[in-house]
Amino acid sequence: MSVDAMPELSVVVPVFNEEDVLPLFAERIRPVLDGLGLSYEVLAVDDGSRDATPAVLETMRRAWSQLRVVRLRRNAGHQYALTAGLHRARGRYVVSIDVDLQDPPEVIAAMLRLADDERLDVVHGVRTDRSTDSPFKRWTAGWYYRLMRRLAGAEVPADAGDFRLLSRTAVDALTELPEHAPVYRLLVPWLGLPSGEVRYTRQPRAAGHSKYPLAKMLRLTFDSITGFSAAPLRVATWLGCAGIVLCLATGAAALAAYLWGSVVPGWTSMLVAMVFLGALQLLCLGLLGEYVARTFTAVQGRPAYVVAYDSAIADARRRAGVPS
């Protein structure tokens, strides 16, 4: 497929250290896409892998002309790899899916039918059964989606990750947003475009291990909260009000005890109060720092990722006789 060709469907697949699962992914998704009866490209975004992933992708590409490889110079993170794919996808529809096969590629056909039949710009893949996840993962995911629906709005689908179909209109709208730390499971519903859902059962990971440990889950939660709500900044105001009320109550109790002639021991209560108020101040400063850091990063204007290689461009240059 030439660099100028416009396929009907682009499938964006962020990849990081997935040498074991890539062949299984290709065996599973290629028959599905070939059976759709439309032109397509699979855009694998190598997020700075340090294993044999680049070599495996190049081997797969020699036998699969629709596979396009975009390689980032360093590990930028899942959401940024997804951003790189969305910015380079050329299809009329764009599907994003993870390579671990927990989200079944067979659902793509149902997404396309629903989008065409109901003229939708967004079709979310919603997990109806997460029994293959650990109890801790299910509990934290449930907590995350409840919190996000409260902060970002009820339109955020519960149990919908980054497996979705987007129309060209939706992709263009996303790429025009000046988001430096995008969280697409919140950004896409925020657009307010006509959307639908396709439900499926989440499957076990086909090979390898999860690339979303607890630290990355917490980072995603922080990015989601600070990117879509100013509520944490208001915590300082409410804690300050609560502190004033507590101090007034403590002062009234101390004055009453003094008037009644009781001895008021002060060192322990004073130390506890100082430590408590100091901790509140540090918490508020930390929350404020999160927002200042986001502003600082946005003002710097540095790219979130740098593309080192795009196989479609490399192929076009080679056909044109332009040296690499």
The string of pLDDT tens digits covering residues 102-143 is 999 999 999 999 999 999 999 999 988 766 667 777 777 677
* Superfamily of the domain at 9-228+302-319: Spore Coat Polysaccharide Biosynthesis Protein SpsA; Chain A (3.90.550.10)
Half-sphere exposure (Cβ direction) of 269: Cα atoms closer than 13 Å: 9
Instruction: Give the tokens for residue 216.
Output: 């990355």
At which residue do the structure tokens 């396009």 appear? Answer: 68
- Does residue 301 surpass a pLDDT of 70? no
The pLDDT, as a whole number, for residue 316 is 80
**pLDDT average, residue stretch 51-68:** 94
- For residues 137 and 123, give the distance between their C-alpha atoms in angstroms, rounded to a whole number: 24
Measured at the alpha carbon of residue 61, what is the angle toward residues 68 and 51, in degrees to the nearest 5?
A: 90
Q: How far apart are CA 26 and CA 263, in angstroms?
A: 78
Q: How confident is the model at residue 3 (pLDDT cuts 50, 70, 90)?
A: very low
Q: Domain ranges for the chain, please list them.
A: 9-228+302-319, 231-300
* Total-model pTM: 0.76
Report the pLDDT value the prediction gives residue 296, as an integer from 0 to 100: 65
Residue, of 69 and 270, whose pLDDT is higher: 69
Residue 218: name the closest of 209, 229, 226 by CA: 226
Nearest to 200 by CA among 120, 124, 116: 124
pLDDT at res. 2:
46
Per-residue pLDDT tens digits for 160-212: 888 999 999 999 999 998 877 788 888 898 888 999 999 998 887 777 777 66
Asked if residues 162 and 95 have their Cβ atoms less than 8 Å apart, the reply is no
Give residues with Cβ within 8 angstroms of 84, minimum separation 6: 45, 70, 72, 76, 305, 307
**Can you give the C-alpha Rg of the chain in angstroms?**
25
Cα angle for residues 314, 318, 324 (degrees, 5° grid):
65
Q: What is the pLDDT of residue 30?
A: 96
Name which residue leads in pLDDT, 229 or 108: 108
Q: What is the pLDDT of residue 322?
A: 75
Cα–Cα distance, 234 to 219 (Å, whole number) = 21
